[in-house]
Amino acid sequence: MGDIVKKSKEYDLSNRNVVISNYITRSAQTLNLVEKRILMAGIAKLGGVNGEIKLTAQEYADTYDVDMSTAYRELKNAVNSLMKRYLSWQVNDGKHIGTLTCVWVQGYKYFKEEGYVKFKFSEYVFPFLFELEREFTKYQLQQAAALRSIYSWRLLEMFEQMKDKTDGSGWLSMSIEEFWHAVEATESYRANFQLLRKRVIEPAIKELTEKDGWLIEWEVRKRGRKVSNLLFKFERNPQGGLFNQETAPIPRNNKTQNALE
């Protein structure tokens, strides 16, 4: 197991697409960054059948630009945690509102000497990953490959869900409760918005700006003294340069007002 190898296009999955249902995009995913990387690489490799997906250390290393020793270690460590990870979102059967909860994978194997893992998505979650014709989020894995924060990745997915397919711009309006759920905010973040802003929102915006070329403005809406909604205005930077505008006021127009209501 050599420490560093040259990156090879043959094993690089970053040009492949990740396609997930919008339900998954807005769900609580209970994943850390390594687990997210493994599962999204698996989704990018889906072949249309919910069979075992093979992900090699070489593919992981080349896709996420890490050395081979890191790739081996992270794939190995995930075997002890991925089987426990679940996702959940709100469901409505027409009469009642409840919560759907299901595990991500139903099997995970690690082959140390050969340097790969095999896993299978659960039967419950697979329909939300395959042959989606509407209400889905799609992005290239390379957009997230350089990210070092799970919060950045989650915000990226929510932007991709809401963006205009023609020019890549869009609006994302969420109640603070929806945002807490999507990023799985801790109790301390829920109790202290300034902490949430400093540790979650602003670092995520900065990383997406610097590593995936987004132009982002965002605004807090309040009900009384309490934060009630977050509104993000975003677009892809046509110049590919850096941009960082923290809590910039969003110009008022009908589209903005409609997004907030």
Burial class (CB in 10 A: 0-12, 13-18, 19+), 142: middle
Could you count the other beta carbons within 10 Å of the beta carbon of residue 148? Answer: 11
CA angle 231, 237, 239 (to 5 degrees): 160
42-48: list long-range contacts, CB under 8 Å, 24+ apart. 42/119, 42/121, 43/18, 43/19, 43/129, 44/13, 44/16, 44/17, 44/18, 44/141, 45/13, 45/16, 46/129, 46/130, 48/130, 48/131
Name the band, by pLDDT with cuts 50, 70 and 90, for residue 95.
confident
147-260 and 17-128 share a CATH fold:
yes
Contacting residues for 31 by C-beta, under 8 A, at least 6 apart: 39, 85, 104, 150
Residue 28, classed as helix, strand or coil, is strand
Integer-rounded Cα radius of gyration of the chain = 19
% the chain with pLDDT above 70: 87
Q: Quick one: tokens of 60? A: 């992981």
Q: What is the mean pLDDT of residues 97-116?
A: 92
Q: What is the mean pLDDT of residues 140-157?
A: 95
Q: What is the mean pLDDT of residues 109-129?
A: 93
- How confident is the model at residue 80, as a pLDDT? 84
Contacting residues for 224 by C-beta, under 8 A, at least 6 apart: none
- How confident is the model at residue 250, as a pLDDT? 43
Q: What is the mean pLDDT of residues 88-101?
A: 85
User: How far apart, in whole angstroms, are the C-alpha atoms of residue 43 and residue 21?
Assistant: 12
- How confident is the model at residue 71, as a pLDDT? 96
Beta bridge partners, 236, equal 214
- pLDDT over threshold 50, residue 229: yes
Q: What is the pLDDT of residues 31-62, one digit of tens each?
A: 999 999 999 999 999 877 788 999 999 999 99
Largest CA distance in the chain: 60
Average pLDDT, the chain: 87
Determine which of 8-17, 67-76, 153-162 has the lowest per-residue pLDDT on average: 8-17
Q: Write down the domain spans for the chain.
A: 17-128, 147-260
- How confident is the model at residue 165, as a pLDDT? 81
User: How far apart, in whole angstroms, are the C-alpha atoms of residue 50 and residue 195?
Assistant: 41
Determine which of 16-30, 83-97, 160-174 has the lowest per-residue pLDDT on average: 83-97
Determine which of 41-45, 76-80, 157-161 has the lowest per-residue pLDDT on average: 76-80
User: How far apart, in whole angstroms, are the C-alpha atoms of residue 259 and residue 203?
Assistant: 24
More confident residue, 235 or 238: 235
Name the band, by pLDDT with cuts 50, 70 and 90, for residue 8.
low
CATH number of 147-260: 1.10.10.10
More confident residue, 122 or 259: 122
- How confident is the model at residue 47, as a pLDDT? 73
Taking each continuous run of H as one helix and of E as one strand, the counts in the chain are: 11, 10
Class of CATH domain 17-128: mainly alpha
Residue-wise DSSP of 34-103 = HHHHHHHHHHHT--SS-S-EEEEHHHHHHHHT--HHHHHHHHHHHTTTGGG-EEEEEEE-SS-EEEEEEE
